[in-house]
C-alpha cells in the first residue's frame, strides 16, 4: 500500500527554456477569468511536458536522480514545434509535434525507471479497471497510459472548472510556444497532473 510518507506520485518531465515558460505562466494567469483549478507559477505549478507519470518510493529517489542525470547528459536539448491548442476534459494544452528524439527520450526514461517504480498511482489503478486495448496494455506494463503510440507531448496551461472548451481565437500564436526544451526534471505530482514540488532537474546535453 502506498502512503505519502514512503511513496510519492511523481512526474518525469522535460522543461522549456525561460521564454516559453514565462509565456505559459502569463497565459495561464490570463485564463483565470474562465474559472480554473490552477495557475502555472514558478515554484508552485511548474510549466512542463510530461514523459512518465509514475509512483516512486522516497527511498529510491536518489537512485532515480542518478539515472535521470545520466540520461540527461546523453540527450541534446529538444527543439519542439507547437502544433495546436488541444482541449479535452476541461484541460487546455499546447500540443507539440512528435519526432524521433523526443520519442526515444520517453522510452529511455520509461525503460530505465519502470523496473523500480512502486506499483501505480491511484488514478492508474482505476484506469486499469476500465481501459481497453493499447491504453490497458500500457497501464498494465508501465503503470502509465500515454506511452509509445499514445504519447502526445504537451504543455498544460490550466484546467477549467466548468469542463468546457473556450475559443482559442484570441490566444497567442502557437509559435510563441515553439522552441527548446532544455532540462529533464523529476517532480512530485499534485492534482490535475500538476508538478507541485521540484525534486531535481538536469540540464540536457549537447545543443542541437
Hey, which CATH number is domain 7-203, 3.30.310.80, 3.30.110.30, 3.40.1280.10, 3.90.1140.10? 3.90.1140.10
Decide if 51 contacts 106 (C-beta within 8 A).
yes
pLDDT tens profile 173-202: 999 999 999 999 999 999 999 999 999 999
With beta carbons less than 8 A apart as the criterion, state whether 205 and 193 touch: no
Between CA 144 and CA 147 the distance in angstroms is: 7
Are 78 and 102 in contact by the 8 Å Cβ rule? The answer is yes
Compute the mean pLDDT over every residue in the chain, rounded to the nearest whole number.
93
Q: Which residues pair with 41 in a beta bridge?
A: 45
pLDDT value of residue 3: 40
Q: Are 66 and 202 in contact (CB under 8 A)?
A: no
Q: Which of 182, 169, 171 is nearest to 19 (CA)?
A: 182
DSSP state of 69: H
- Tens digit of pLDDT for each residue in 16-70? 999 999 999 999 999 999 999 999 998 899 999 999 999 999 999 999 999 999 9
Instruction: Work out the percent of the chain whose per-residue pLDDT is above 70.
Output: 96
What is the tens place of the pLDDT at every residue in 108-123? 999 999 999 998 888 8
Taking the domains of the chain in order of start, what are their residue ranges?
A: 7-203
Amino acid at each position: 500500500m502506498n502512503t505519502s510518507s514512503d511513496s510519492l506520485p511523481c512526474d518525469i518531465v522535460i522543461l522549456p527554456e525561460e521564454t516559453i515558460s514565462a509565456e505559459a505562466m502569463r497565459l495561464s494567469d490570463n485564463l483565470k477569468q474562465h474559472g480554473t483549478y490552477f495557475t502555472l507559477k514558478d515554484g508552485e505549478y511548474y510549466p512542463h511536458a510530461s514523459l512518465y507519470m509514475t509512483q516512486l518510493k522516497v527511498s529510491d529517489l536518489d537512485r532515480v536522480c542518478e539515472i535521470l542525470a545520466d540520461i540527461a547528459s546523453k540527450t541534446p536539448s529538444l527543439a519542439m514545434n507547437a502544433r495546436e491548442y488541444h482541449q479535452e476534459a476541461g484541460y487546455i494544452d499546447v500540443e507539440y509535434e512528435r519526432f524521433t528524439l523526443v520519442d526515444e527520450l520517453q522510452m529511455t526514461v520509461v525503460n530505465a525507471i519502470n523496473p523500480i517504480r512502486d506499483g501505480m498511482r491511484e488514478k492508474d489503478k482505476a484506469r486499469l479497471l476500465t481501459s481497453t486495448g493499447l491504453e490497458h496494455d500500457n497501464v498494465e506494463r508501465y503503470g502509465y497510459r500515454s506511452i509509445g503510440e499514445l504519447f502526445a507531448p504537451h504543455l498544460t496551461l490550466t484546467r477549467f472548472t466548468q469542463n468546457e472548451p473556450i475559443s482559442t481565437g484570441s490566444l497567442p500564436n502557437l509559435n510563441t510556444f515553439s522552441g527548446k526544451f532544455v532540462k529533464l526534471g523529476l517532480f512530485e505530482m499534485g492534482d490535475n497532473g500538476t508538478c507541485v514540488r521540484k525534486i531535481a532537474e538536469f540540464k540536457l546535453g549537447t545543443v542541437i
